[in-house]
Amino acid sequence: MNKNFYLYLSGRFVSRLGDSIQEIGFPLLILKMYGTAAALGSTTIFIAISDIVVKPFVSVIADKYNKKNIMVSIDLLSGVLCLLVGFLALKDILSLPLIIIYLIIQSFISSLFLSASRAMVPEIVKENNYEKAYSLMSISDNLSSISGPALGAMLFAFFGIEYLLFINGISFIISGISELFINYEFKNKKIKLKEINFYKELKEGLTYLIKRKKLVYFSLTNVILFSFSIPITATFLPLMLQRDGGFNNSYIGFFKSVSTLGTLIGATLLLFFRKHLGSFKFFVSSYLLINLSMFMIGITISMNIENKILHFIIIAPFILMIGFFVISSSVLISSNYQRNVDNKVRARIGDFNVMAIEISSIFSILMGSILLDRISSRTYIILVCAINLVLLLTYVFPGYKKYIQKD
């Protein structure tokens, strides 16, 4: 790995950390100002919708413009916006409409930053280092996800939203300045924004994806992986642990930490065992162990165990294993994905993949929310595992031999 990548990684870490800090800071502010679920819910919906709407368009921009300049500009702009909104908060003139406008703008530029930064990796890292690069990115992203909310809550509690934004703004600006030193050569010709035909560019990217069966396989494999693991381990786990496991909020927090720990351990170990990552045995074992771990959570979660510490000890290893093997499988798929995409469409293809995961996850969460009101957690998880196993045996594993192993 070279100096360029570590400059890139530090800039990405600060930006993701800043986003995580604000993700906890503004909900706390809205609750403090209005104290209603409606205010918080409407804000969340606006942000989610805006993110889905703009994602295809920002991917086109990321493909057409200098990715380093995008990263630098976004961090500097984010810093200025943070300082400006911090000043408005200091003068006590922030309102819900202003907060929503700011968060929508921040969501747009953050999506552009992530799209450009994802697509930039293969241009600054040698192909034989892709697995290491994505492992380090996973570690960095998880560290920012862990520390961001805690740091944001602490800054909000002790200093208020205004100083949280001031500190965040300065951090963004420092990050943008550090990214200036990344050695990156952009080879595409310059083009004005008004000259871009977004419909044509999006159609080109989608056609490029559909015509390449290997890329379709990678996308669908990611969809299968995340559509089943995310709803169970992230969205519905607190509900299942409370309702069927009898755990309180403290234990749920511990389970969340265990899941994150599994991800960090998985990403860290991949740095040292990369040569085993591409083997068919490792690939099959990872997916089967994810499925087995989910199945065992379903079996153990509703056990009638009065000693909650013992119950926690029984369930925690399976949650740890899911975090561990999801990240190892994800790194393998992501690395192979990037090896088979041209630079000219890399951001668009990457965001199509992200959108496919987001949409399928929404569908899975919707179905889960309907089913879990009617059946037990155990029945729900066993049903999900059965469907997942069929998809693994009929599509994912045969596809690996066809599209990856033959390489």
Domains of the chain: 3-180 (1.20.1250.20), 201-405 (1.20.1250.20)
pLDDT of residue 188: 67
pTM for the complete prediction?
0.68
Dist CA 158 CA 252 (whole Å): 25
User: Does position 80 have pLDDT exceeding 90, yes or no?
Assistant: yes
The pair of three-digit structure tokens given for residue 30, joined into one six-digit string: 């809205």
User: Does position 198 have pLDDT exceeding 70, yes or no?
Assistant: yes
- pLDDT tens-digit profile of 296-340? 988 898 888 888 889 999 998 998 888 888 877 777 777 777 777
Q: Which of 296, 291, 307 is nearest to 386 (CA)?
A: 291
Dist CA 67 CA 122 (whole Å): 12
**Residue 86 Ramachandran class (φ > 0 left, ψ -120 to 50 alpha, else beta):** alpha
Pair 138, 277: CB distance under 8 Å: no
- pLDDT tens-digit profile of 360-397? 877 787 787 788 888 888 888 888 889 889 998 998 88
Task: Give 262's Cβ-side CA count (13 Å radius).
Answer: 22
What amino acid occupies position 25? G
User: Does position 110 have pLDDT exceeding 80, yes or no?
Assistant: yes
Average pLDDT over residues 277-304: 83
The pair of three-digit structure tokens given for residue 379, joined into one six-digit string: 């029945």
pLDDT of residue 277: 57
User: Does position 274 have pLDDT exceeding 70, yes or no?
Assistant: no
Dist CA 106 CA 147 (whole Å): 20
Residue 97: CB atoms within 10 Å: 8
pLDDT of residue 310: 93
Residue 325: CB atoms within 10 Å: 25
Dist CA 384 CA 155 (whole Å): 40
DSSP 8-state secondary structure symbol assigned to residue 183: -
Q: Among positive and negative, which fits the CA dihedral 358, 363, 364, 365?
A: positive
Q: Which residue shows structure tokens 């089913």?
A: 371
Residue 101: CB atoms within 10 Å: 13
Which are the contacts of 300, defined by CB distance < 8 A and separation ≥ 6? 311, 314, 315, 318
